[in-house]
Amino acid sequence: MILRIVKDEGPITGEQIAERLSLTRATLRPDLAILTMSGYLDARPRVGYFYSGKTGSQLLGEHFRKLMVRDYKSVPAVCQEETSVYDAICTMFLEDVGTLFVVKEGGILTGVISRKDLLKSSMGSQDLQNIPVGVVMSRMPNIVSCHLDESLLDAAAKLIRNQVDSLPVVKEREESDHFEVVGRISKTTITRVFVEMGLGKSV
Ligand code: ADP
């Protein structure tokens, strides 16, 4: 009812809305605060309330764009190019992840190895202890990554567009073309945020 009144009569003061509803201004205060904070109403001092005209999904989109990679990234699971395919499979089980980021000294990203990459190399009856990850991984510069200051929405769009399960979060180093791995954003990260938002938890 508040939204309808403001839509029809705005700008309108809190006092006037309270009058229309036969309530006191004090009773209405928390409702007006919620509607303003969630973006349905705009409030201007000494003028009153305006209807923002934004739909629920527009407001949700605005909220989503404010979530940043730096606040949601998880710890990356890594291995080296020299690591054997056998050991990489063990690491995946131990770390409970589906993708390992391949790094050299200083945590510099050189590649990514996924479940399917490992399955592929396991199909021939080769000695998995003697195949290095470097032979089967996807390699830089063809790795899709994201930055700490990127929005979670942009990272999610990259996951979908590139049909991959996870992105390394990287920090650019002084030396050009060197990216240090500082985190991980996976489809699970996005799903967790989606569920928390749906359950009304603050994310
Ligand atoms: P899975 O192979 O387990 O389904 P993905 O769909 O993530 O996992 O991987 C598909 C292919 O894309 C693999 O060959 C993998 O090496 C590669 N890949 C995975 N993540 C990335 C990424 N962030 N950037 C580039 N290539 C990737």
What are the extents of the domains in the chain? 2-54, 69-196
Q: What number is the average pLDDT over the span 166-179?
A: 88
165 lines ligand 1 (CB under 6 A): yes
For atom 6 of ligand 1, the residue with the nearest CA is 164
pLDDT at site 46: 85
pLDDT above 70 for 165:
yes
pLDDT at site 203: 62
Residue closest to 78 by CA, chosen among 29, 113, 32: 113
Domain 2-54 matches domain 69-196 at the CATH topology level = no
Q: Which band of pLDDT confidence, cut at 50, 70 and 90, is reported for residue 202?
A: low
Which pLDDT tens digit goes with each residue over 23-72? 999 999 999 999 998 888 999 888 899 998 887 788 888 888 899 999 99
136 lines ligand 1 (CB under 6 A): no
Query: For ligand 1, what atom is nearest to the CA of residue 145?
Result: 23
For atom 20 of ligand 1, the residue with the nearest CA is 164
Decide: 159 and 166 in contact? Cβ < 8 Å: yes
69-196 has CATH 3.50.30.40 classification: no
138 lines ligand 1 (CB under 6 A): yes
2-54 has CATH 1.10.357.10 classification: no
